[in-house]
Structure 1
Amino acid sequence: MIRAVAFDVGETLISDDRGWGAWADWLGVHRHTLSALVGAVVAQGRDNSDALRLVRPGIDVEAERAAMERAGHGERLEESDLYPDARPALTALRGTGVRVVVAGNQTARAGELLRALDLPVDALATSGEWGVAKPDPEFFARTVELAGVPAGEVLYVGDHPQNDVLPARAAGLRAAHLRRGPLGHLWADGEDARAADVRVTSLTELADVVRAL
C-alpha cells in the first residue's frame, strides 16, 4: 500500500531551463553550450556542477551563486517554471488520501521559492535545508520522516535513475521513474530505470498508479 508520494523537484515538478539559462548568461556562454555540457558530464556519471567548472575552471560555485544573488540575478521560480501536469497531479494525489511531499536536491533558497508557489502538498524540504543530498541514504531517511509513514509505503518520484530510483529502492522506498528532461530520457530504457516499481511519462498517471499499488 502507498500512503505517501514524495517528489523530486528539478525536471520532475519544475523545468531547469531558467536556472541553467541564468548560469549561462552569468558566465558569458551560449545557453546551448552549457546545456550540452551539463548533459555530457552527467552522462559520464559526474555532478552537473562540473559543467560550470568546464566553462570556468576553478570556479567556486557557491561563491559565484552568492555573487549572482547580490547582482540581482539569483534563483527565481515562477508558476511558469512548473511543468503543466505538476499542480493537477499533486491535487489529484491528495484527493486519493495519500500524503504528498516534495524533497529534492535544491538550495535552501529554492525551498523558499517553492513554498511561495503554494503547491498543494503536505510538506516540502530541500537538500540545502537538510545539509544532505541525494543519493546519500540519509536524504531518503529524511524523506521518510517528512512523509510520516514507513519507508515501504512511500513512493518516490524522479527522473534520475541513479539519484532517485536506485537509492530510493535501497532505502526501502518504492520508486517511480519519470521519463522527463534530458536525464529521464537518456536512461529511460536502461537497467537502472527498469528497477523502478513503475515507469511513467506524465505525473497525471500517478493517481492511478497509487491506487494500483
Structure 2
Amino acid sequence: MVQSVVFDIGETLVSDSRYWAAWARWLDVPPHTMSALVGAVLAQGRDNADAIRILRPGIDIAAEWRAREAAGRGDYLDESDLYPDVRPVLRRLRDAGLWVGIAGNQNATVTGLLTALTLPADAIATSAEWGTAKPAPAFFEHLLTWAPGEPHEIVYVGDHPANDITPARTAGLRTAHLRRGPIGLTTPAPNADWTVDSLTTLADLLITEYRDRLAAEPARRSRSSARS
C-alpha cells in the first residue's frame, strides 16, 4: 500500500517559465530565443543547460549563477509559479493520510522559497542539500531514507522519464509520469506505473487505491487469524 508520495519540482509542481526568462534577461537575449534553444536541446536529449552554453560558449554556469545571486537576481518563486493543481492536490493527499514530500534537482535556495509558500507538504529537500542529483542512484537511495515506507510503498512523481521515472523504478519505487512541460509532453515513459495529464488525476488514483487497501486490511487480518 502506498504510504508516501514524493514530487519532483521543476515542471511537476513549478513552471520553469520564470527560471528561463530570468536567464534570458541576464544574458540579454529575447525570452523566445531562450525558450526555443531549451526546446531544441531537450529534443536532442541534451542537458537543458546546454541552451545557455550555446548562447555563451565556454561559460562557467556555476560562476555565472553566483554572479546573478550577488547582483540580487537569483531564484524567486511565488504563487504564480505553481501549477494550479499543486496546492489542492498536495492537501488532498495529506488529508487522505498519505505522507507528502517534495524533492528535486534544485539549488538549496529553492527549499526556502518553497517553504515560504507554505505548501501542504511534510518535507522539502533539494539535490544541493543532499549532495547528489538525479538520475544518480544516490539521490534515490537518500530519498528512501527520507520518505516513510518500503520502496514499493513510495511513489515518485515527475515529468522526466530519464531523470525521474527510470532511476526511481530501478531503486524499487513506484512511479508516476506527469505529461507536463516540454519533456513530459514529448517523451513517453512506458515503464511508469501511471501516466497522467494532471496531478488531480493522479490524486484520484492514489487515494482510491489507498482507501481500498485500508478497507481490505481488516478482512485480510481476519482471514490470517482464522488460518492460525
3-state SS in 2 of match to 1:42: helix
Find the residue that maps to 1:205 and give its secondary structure: helix
Q: Which residue does 2:152 correspond to in 1?
A: 152
**1:67 offset after TM fit, Å?**
0.8
Contact between 1:76 and 1:113, CA under 8 Å: does it hold in 2? yes
Q: 2:196 aligns with which of 183, 200, 203?
A: 200
TM-score for both structures, normalised by structure 1: 0.95
Runs of 4+ in 1 over 3 A off after TM superposition: none
CA deviation after TM superposition for structure 1 residue 42, in Å: 2.0
Gaps of 5+ in 2: 211-228
Partners of 2:5 and 2:101 within 8 A in 1: yes
> 1:206: how far off?
2.3
**CA separation in 2, counterparts of 1:44 and 1:145?**
34
Alpha-carbon offset, residue 44 of structure 1: 1.8
Equivalent in the alignment of 2:143: 143
Opposite residue 120 of structure 2, the aligned amino acid is P
Distance 2:74 2:203 in 1: 35
The CA distance in 1 between the partners of 2:171 and 2:44, in whole Å, is 24
Residues of 2 paired with 1:207 and 1:35: CA distance? 30
Q: Deviations over 1:186-213 (max 9, x none)?
A: 11xx3xx111000111111222221337
C-alpha contact 1:93 1:206 (8 A) present in aligned 2: no
Which residue is equivalent to 1:170?
170
1:46 aligned partner: 46
Percent identity between the two aligned chains: 59
User: Counterpart amino acid of 1:91?
Assistant: R
Deviation at 1:37, TM superposition (A): 1.2
1:155 aligns to what SS in structure 2?
Answer: strand
Please give the residue correspondences for 1:15-164 in structure 2 after superposition, counting only pairs within 5 Å. Answer: 15-164=15-164
Output the CA distance in 2 between the equivalents of 1:57 and 1:91. 44
- Which string of whole-angstrom CA distances, capped at 9 and with x for unpartnered residues, describes residues 134-185 of structure 1? 0001111111222121111111001111111111111100000001111111
Give the TM-score normalised by structure 2.
0.89
Q: What is the number of equivalent residue pairs in this alignment?
A: 209
Give SS of 1:194's match: coil
